[in-house]
Amino acid sequence: QSALTQSPSASGSPGQSVTISCTGTSSDVGGYNCVSWYQQHPGKAPKLLIYEVTKRPSGVPDRFSGSKSGNTASLTVSGLQAEDEADYYCSSYAGSNSYVFGTGTKVSVL
């Protein structure tokens, strides 16, 4: 149950796109199409952005999109806005009813 690996930080200017990666193993990210992404602003609870690799819950803007290749999943935020500045976490099902989160990526809007 090792944490999924995310780059510590990413940044972009308003209107640009930023992509965050999440690397696991064949026992979690690579083994299931069960990757989720969460956004967390300081002092707040996380918010679900993406589930099952590519699906968005109702109310989440289509600026947020997810993908996966092998053991690495990615979240792309297009048309970056000031309110997108936050911490982002991936999560994956890891088999046997267990889950694992990523180490988190801090996104800054320049």
Partner 1 sequence: EVQLVESGGDLVQPGGSLRLSCAASGFTFSDRLMHWVRQVPGEGLVWVSRINGDGSSTTYADSVKGRFTISRDNAKNTLYLQMNSLRVEDTAVYYCARHYVSGSYSVDSWGQGTLVTVSS
User: Which residues lie near partner 1 (CB under 8 A)?
Assistant: 1, 3, 32, 34, 36, 38, 40, 45-46, 48, 51-52, 55, 57, 89, 91-93, 96-104
> Min. distance of Cβ 109 from partner 1 in angstroms?
20
| Alpha carbon distance 69, 82 (integer Å) | 29
107 in Cβ contact with 7 (< 8 Å): no
Residue closer to partner 1, measured from CB, 33 or 78: 33
Is 15 or 24 the residue whose CB approaches partner 1 more closely?
A: 24
Q: What share of the chain is helix, strand, coil (3-state, %, to 5)?
A: 5, 50, 45
The sign one gets for the Cα dihedral 43, 36, 53, 60 is: negative
Q: How far is the CB of 101 from partner 1 (least distance, A)?
A: 4
Looking at the Cβ atoms of 13 and 96, the one nearer to partner 1 is 96
Taking the complex as a whole, the smallest distance from the CB of residue 17 to partner 1 amounts, in Å, to 23
Q: Which is nearer to partner 1, 80 or 93 (CB)?
A: 93
∠ CA 3-7-49, nearest 5°, is: 75
For 1, the token pair is 């149950």
